[in-house]
Amino acid sequence: MGKIGINVEQLNELKPLEIVRNDKVRDKFIQIYEAMWTPSTGVSGEAAYEKESRNFNRLLSEKEDIRKKCNHFSIFTSFLDVAISGLTLEPGTKAQAYLLSRSIAVDSYIDEHGQKKNRYETQCVLTVSGYGELVLRARCGQIRHADNPVIVYEEDSFEYGERNGQKFVNYTCRLPHTTGHIVACFMKITRADGSADYAVMLPEDWQRLSNYSARQNSKYNNQTRQWVQGKPNALYTAQGGQIDPGFLVAKCIKHAFKTYPKARVGRATQLESQQVDETEITDDIYGVTGDSEKVDTATGEIIQEKQDFTPQTDTSAGVTVDPAANNDDDTF
């Protein structure tokens, strides 16, 4: 992959909404997309750039915290990660990816009391939704298809377990659902070899997530020097005191692949299901420096080290699903 150089200083001179419209950024996006996806999708890098640059800047326009707080280098790498992932930032109820800001510890220092403290900076992160993760895993050949998640109510017949090393679900819908009480949610996944897998969520699972959400929303009171317990996301109790069905469906998709191998994503990308950066993409692909330099994507620091990048083999030819079909309401 040829070098298209742009340095951190040049990025910092641009306004956030100007970054993706920079000619060198444009050329780099097109180069990455055409190397990784055009052979299998038939979509040109230029067409993908025109579409996703508009989507990206729309999200930036809507998210003031990213525009004002995130460093420009992270905005740049998040945009190139759209090309690396091959996903779209198109909005909708089944959006494949979106942008978030997050605080990252970039170094440490010793305060006046001799205590070691972390120094943080805010970075823009491309976040892949559960729907986007389904597309990624279909493309890399891990799955063929995933059915729509099913909400199980108290009146239904539901059995989940494992027999002879294989997961199974026995489910019968029994109408009417007079109580409206949700007892489970499950999703059937067809693996690449044709075998079936099931993702199942039970009340104790979403209660655990609710407790985690409350902890995440806790705040530190400087006056009392104590943490104040936060409240969980309102959707955990939005349906007459129980979890919202649509929210539960999204959670089921998000957590369906916890035990699957990691999917290939860029360094400025996180999966909702794993919430960690993958490391299969090298720094060199972003083309931010010259032939003998690379950039630490966490700090923006230039590191003197030559590192070549070779695109990974496209495995999408062995997948029988069409990832673009996720725009159809009947998919997933």
Higher pLDDT, 218 or 126: 126
Answer yes or no: do 71 and 200 share one domain.
no
pTM for the complete prediction? 0.68
Answer yes or no: do 20 and 48 share one domain.
yes
pLDDT at residue 97 in the model: 94
Answer yes or no: do 232 and 274 share one domain.
no
Answer yes or no: do 249 and 289 share one domain.
no
pLDDT at residue 319 in the model: 36
CA atoms of 86 and 136, how far apart (whole Å): 8
Answer yes or no: do 203 and 231 share one domain.
yes
pLDDT 10s digits, 21-62:
999 999 999 999 999 999 988 999 999 999 999 999 999 999
| pLDDT-based confidence at residue 121 (cuts at 50, 70, 90) | confident
Angle between helices 72-85 and 45-62 (to 10 degrees): 140
pLDDT 10s digits, 272-326:
776 533 334 444 555 555 443 444 433 333 333 333 333 444 434 443 344 444 4
pLDDT at residue 2 in the model: 58
Where are the strands (E) in 81-208, listed by range? 97-110, 116-128, 143-146, 150-153, 157-163, 166-172, 182-191, 196-201
Q: Is the pLDDT of residue 218 over 60?
A: yes
Cα–Cα nearest to 255, from 201, 179, 176, 321: 201
Domain count, the chain: 2
CB 294 within 8 A of CB 7: no
Answer yes or no: do 101 and 72 share one domain.
yes
CA atoms of 261 and 306, how far apart (whole Å): 29
Answer yes or no: do 31 and 122 share one domain.
yes
CA atoms of 76 and 165, how far apart (whole Å): 46
Average pLDDT, the chain: 82
Answer yes or no: do 16 and 134 share one domain.
yes
Domain encompassing residue 167: 145-259
pLDDT 10s digits, 163-182:
998 899 999 999 999 999 99
| pLDDT-based confidence at residue 221 (cuts at 50, 70, 90) | confident
Domain end call among 240, 259, 278: 259
pLDDT at residue 324 in the model: 42
Cα–Cα nearest to 235, from 177, 296, 301, 182: 182
Domain end call among 218, 235, 259: 259
pLDDT at residue 102 in the model: 87
CB 78 within 8 A of CB 64: no
Domain end call among 224, 259, 294: 259
